[in-house]
Structure 1
Amino acid sequence: MSEPGVDVVPATARGRRRREAVLDAAEQLFFEHGFHGTSVDDIGAAAGISGPGLYRHFPSKDALLMAVLDRIWGQLRPAIDVAAEQEPDLALQTLLDAQLELALGQPSALVLLVRELRHLPEDYRRRAARNHRRYLDAWVDALRRTAPHLHADDARTTVMAVHGLIDSVAINPEARRLPQRRDWLRGLADAVLTRAAD
Structure 2
Amino acid sequence: MGDARAAAPAAAPVTARGQQRREAILDAAAALFLERGFHGTSIDEVGAAAGISGPGVYRHVASKDALLMAVLDRLWSEGFGPAVRAAADLPPREALATLIETHVDLAIGQATALVLLVTELRHLPDDYRGRALHNHRRYVDAWVGPLLALRPGASDDEARGAATGIHGLIDSAARVPDFVDDVDPATRAPLLRHLAAAVVDRFVAT
Q: Does 1:190 align with 2:191?
A: no
Q: Does 1:54 align with 2:54?
A: no
Give the drift of 1:100.
Answer: 0.3
Q: Does 1:138 align with 2:142?
A: yes
Q: Deviations over 1:131-188 (max 9, x none)?
A: 1000000011121122222211110000011111111111222221224332322222
How do 1:22-37 and structure 2 match up within 5 A?
22-37=25-40
Q: Which protein, 1 or 2, shows the higher relative CO under an 8 Å CA cutoff with sep ≥ 6?
A: 2
How do 1:47-196 and structure 2 match up within 5 A?
47-74=50-77, 75-176=79-180, 177-179=182-184, 180-196=187-203
Distance in 1, matches of 2:16 and 2:179, equals: 36
Moved more, 83-92 or 25-34: 25-34
Consecutive unaligned residues of structure 2, counting only runs of 5 or more, are: none
TM-score (norm: length of structure 2) = 0.91
Aligned to 2:17: 14
Query: Does the CA contact (< 8 Å) of 2:140 and 2:160 recur in 1?
Result: yes
Query: Does the CA contact (< 8 Å) of 1:88 and 1:143 recur in 2?
Result: yes
Q: Which amino acid aligns with 1:158?
A: A
Give the drift of 1:5.
Answer: 4.1
Number of positions where the alignment pairs a residue of Structure 1 with one of Structure 2 = 198
Q: Deviations over 1:112-149 (max 9, x none)?
A: 11111111111111111001000000011121122222
Distance in 2, matches of 1:12 and 1:125, equals: 30
